[in-house]
Each structure stands twice: as structure tokens, then as C-alpha cells.
Structure 1
Amino acid sequence: MLIGILQCGHCPPELQPHVGNYPAMFEKLLAGHDFEFANWAVCDMEFPNSIDAADGWLITGSRYGVYEDHPWIEPLEQIIRAIYLAPKPMVGICFGHQIIAQALGGKVAKSDKGWGVGRMEYTWGNEVVALNAWHQDQVIEPPKEASTISANKFCDHAALMYGDRVLSVQAHPEFGREMMQGLINVRGAAVPEARLAYAQKALDAPVDNARLGNDIADFFKAKRGWQESSE
């Protein structure tokens, strides 16, 4: 199965020698599931010629806001709507979670709760899942097609499911300790000191990245009636 990665930003250059760029992080997260990968840096105006260029699609995080005026935002939203209507399985992470919601009729805004940075615990069904987060924007109103499947006191819509077509997650299952330490060092100036101190202290606490990686892989590989009927 070929996963097309729509890259919406770049990891800070000073961190890339240590952790790679965003596509490499997702290839590592999804390793061992027999996927192949192709990447389009949509933030640099690189777009696939067709949504059939991949079997499933993954939209990455970004330092940008989905509501900002960048020339690649509207074309990306058009691609998202086309993937959804096709349909093909689609996954969004952080910015990807937000841009899918916005493209399909939801609302995204800066949270009045401020920055969510560091390890956070989320209810996920009957379980508690811990993931690293780094965001100020949130989905504040999901599209009508979406169901909230994860939340905590900071983030009401921490993960969304759109039937069997889309899975999106606000937190970063692709961010490990080294990436979080790097972001604290490089981009921490924008974050309130107390929140940054918490993130630093929580760096060595366990997170469920591997579990989420398996969940994402299972989502991509799931058998769907609409896939069988199109074969």
C-alpha cells in the first residue's frame, strides 16, 4: 500500500540532522507495516497530479495556522475534499487534523486555554493514551460528519473519526523525546515558562507512540466496502 504524505511544514533545520524531516518521522512511526511512501511538500507548492497517486493519504503537522493566508492552503483543502469524496483513507496529525476539519466544514481557532505543550493524557474509548503535544490552535467545532473519539480537559476534540474515511489526531505520535527537546530549545520562546517547564520535566515519561502508529496502520489497511466495490 502506497501512503502519500502531504507535508505541510518543515522540521526546524537545526533539528533535521538528528530527527529528520516530517515525512521521515512518519515513515519511522509506520515502519513494519509493509507500506511504501511518497511525499509532496504542499507547503512548497508541490501537489500530486491526482488523488490516485497514492492508496491512502497522510497530512502532517505544521507551524502555520490553517486559517492563515498562504497560497497552498486552498489547494490543499480542495485535495482533502476530493480524497474524502473519492473516497480514499486519510489521516491528519495536528495541523493535518485541523485542516481536514476546516476543509470539511468545521472550525479551527486559537484556544483560549493557550498552549498545549508536552506529554498529555487523553481519554480514548475506555483507555487513557499519552502523547506529546505542541499546539495552540484547536478544532473547536468538528464537521457534522465527524465523531469525537478522544478528548481531555485541554482539548475537547483531540481525535476525530469520519466514518471509515478519515482518522485525525491533534497530538503528535511521531514526536519522540529528541524532537520534543529540540522544539523546547528552538521554539520554546513562544510558550509560557510554566508550560515549558512542565514539558521539560515530562520528557522521560512514557508515551503511546507505538500504539498510535499501529492504530494508524490498522486504519489504512482496514477492509472497506467501498474499496471492494471499486476494485
Structure 2
Amino acid sequence: MKIGILAAGITPDVLQVNYPSYADMFVQQLTYIEPTLAFEIYDVRLDEFPQSAASCDGWLITGSKCNSYDDDPWILRLCDFIREIDSNKQTLVGICFGHQIIARALGGTVIKSPAGWGVGVHHYQVTSDIPTLPGATDIAFCAFHQDQVIEKPKKLNVFLRSDFCEFAGFIYQDRILTFQGHPEFSKEYESDLVELYAGVTLTPEIADKARITIKEENIQNKQLMSWIAHFLKNKPQSSDM
């Protein structure tokens, strides 16, 4: 099965010596979990788009430092492409920016949140079943965002929430799965990202709090990445009927 990765962002330059790009993080981790998946990467920031949604069997949109509510030509084109994927009833996964842009494209609202930056390890309440974490009511994984969805599309159901982020995870049947946080991030990468932006975009207080959570909290990123791999592998069986 061929999965198209719509790369909306890239690992900061100074971290590329030790870490892969965001798109390659997914390729490496998902291939390890599910070797039958093949990937094609499209740098949509540079207006590199597939000919059509039919070019791949399923799709994944990465995180980005860009704002999903902006009207840059490539962002508007990505919204159109998301709607094409949805119309085709193909599988679609969105991470952080991907979560937000999918919500926007399907009728939701995204803003720069007055709650400020959410970084470090965040805990989320699980409001519907996660197949790779049966029975879980609380999960934790890395987050790094300031923007948030404040109005969800009608068709998407919430499966993760927290006091900081009301709409932290969306799902629609077996076709759309999104996370505001970053299940692809290791704690090592999250730590280096915090150090990179501490005192720049992150206040000392926010950075210190993030450091504590990274040191003390366990994360369930492996189970979430396993869910993403299986979600992408399985062709949708449901319809909108």
C-alpha cells in the first residue's frame, strides 16, 4: 500500500544532524511497524503536490511551523486537496499542523490560542477506544504547539481532550485520524526542540515546565504510532451512507 506524506514542515536546520525530517520520522517508524507500507513524500510547502488524491492509497500530513489558518497559496491548495481525499473516501492522518488544517478544510476553526504554548509531555483524556491501548482513559505524548482548533467540523468526533486543548484528537469512521500532539516525537527530540526555542519563543517558565514533564513522564508514542500504521494499512470499509 502506498502512503503519500504531505510534508508541511521540516526539522529545524540545527537538529537535522541528529534527527530525520518530520516526513522521514514517519517513514522510518511506520515502516518498522508495518513493512508492507510504501511512502512517497511531497513537499507541499514548495507547492509540490501529487497529480491527484488517487496517486496514493492513503495520506498523512505532518506538523509545521506555519499557521494553518493563513491563506498562503500552498495552504489553500492543501485545503482543496484534503477535501478531494475526503470526497474519495481515502484514509487520512494529520499531525499537529495536519490536525489543524484537516479541521479547517472540513469546516472547523483554528486560531492562535490565548492559552499560549503547549510543550513538553501532555496528558490527554481518552473519550473513545484506542485499539492499541485498550481500556486506556489517559495517555501522554509530546506536544509543541500554540495554535488550536476551537470549533470542530461536524463530521469529526473527538477522541482526545485535555483542559489545555479541548480538541486534541479527531476521528471519523476508519478514514480520518488526527492528533494535535506529536506521537512521532521521542522525548530526546522534544527535549532538544525545547532547548532550541527556550528564551526565544518559549518563556523560561514554559521551558522549565516542559523540561520537568519530559524528565518525569512516560509517553505512549509507540502504541500511537502502531495505531497510525494499522489505520493507514487498512482500507476504509465504511461509507457516509
TM range (shorter): over 0.9
Residue 45 of structure 1, CA deviation: 1.0
Q: How many correspondences in the alignment?
A: 227
Deviations along 1:32-91, one digit per CA (max 9) or x if unpaired, are 202111100001111111211111100000001111232210110111000001010000
From 52, 64, 67, give the equivalent of 1:65: 67
For 1:138, the equivalent position in structure 2 comes to: 148
Distance of 2:214 and 2:155 partners within structure 1? 35
Q: Distance in 2 between matches of 1:158 and 1:213?
A: 16
Question: 1:128 deviation in Å?
Answer: 1.0
Return the match for 2:209 from 198, 206, 216. 198
Cα separation, 2, equivalents of 1:96 and 1:206: 24
Do the aligned partners of 1:121 and 1:130 also contact (CA within 8 Å) in 2? Answer: yes
Distance 2:197 2:29 in 1: 23
Tell whether the 8 Å contact from 2:89 to 2:175 is kept in structure 1 after alignment: yes
Aligned AA for 1:67? Y
Instruction: Report the AA paired with residue 119 of structure 1.
Output: V
Q: How does 1:112-123 map to 2 (within 5 A)?
A: 112-123=114-125
Contact 1:111 1:137 in 2 (8 A): yes
Distance 1:212 1:4, change over 3 A: same
- Local SS of the residue matching 2:8: coil
Look up the equivalent residue of 1:120 and give its one-letter code.
H
Amino acid at match of 1:136: Q
Runs of 5+ consecutive residues of structure 1 not aligned to the other structure? none
Shift of 1:176: 0.8
- Please, what TM-score do these two structures have when normalized by structure 1? 0.94
Long gaps (5+) in structure 2: 129-135
Deviation for aligned residue 1:119: 0.2
Q: Structure 1 residue aligned with 2:232, among 209, 216, 220?
A: 220
Residues 33-52 of structure 1 mapped to structure 2, 5 A cutoff: 33-34=34-35, 35-52=37-54
**Partners of 2:174 and 2:237 within 8 A in 1:** no
Structure 2: distance between partners of 1:223 and 1:79: 19
- Assess if the C-alpha contact under 8 Å between 1:145 and 1:163 holds in 2: no
Paired residues for 1:96-111 under 5 Å: 96-111=98-113
Shift of 1:111: 1.3
Q: Distance in 2 between matches of 1:181 and 1:57?
A: 28
* Distance (whole Å) between structure 2 residues aligned to residue 191 and residue 75 of structure 1: 31
Alignment-derived partner of residue 179 in structure 2:
169
SS of structure 2 residue aligned to 1:18? coil
**One-letter code aligned to 1:137:** D
Please give the root-mean-square deviation of Cα atoms over the aligned residues, in Å: 1.4
Deviation string, structure 1 residues 86-143 (Cα, Å, up to 9, x no partner)? 0100000000000000001000011121110100111113421111000010111110
CA contact (8 A) 1:177 1:203 kept: yes
Give the secondary-structure state (helix, strand or coil) at the position aligned to 2:122: strand
Q: In the alignment, which residue of structure 1 is the partner of 2:2? A: 2
Query: How far apart are 1:11 and its partner, in Å?
Result: 0.9
Tell me, in whole angstroms, the C-alpha distance in 1 between the residues paired with 2:212 and 2:238. 46
The one-letter code sitting in structure 1 at the alignment partner of 2:168 is: A
> 1:15 maps to what in 2?
15
The Cα of 1:222 is off from its aligned counterpart by 2.9
- Structure 2 residue identity aligned to 1:143: P
Mapped to 2, the partners of 1:133 and 1:28 lie a distance apart of 20
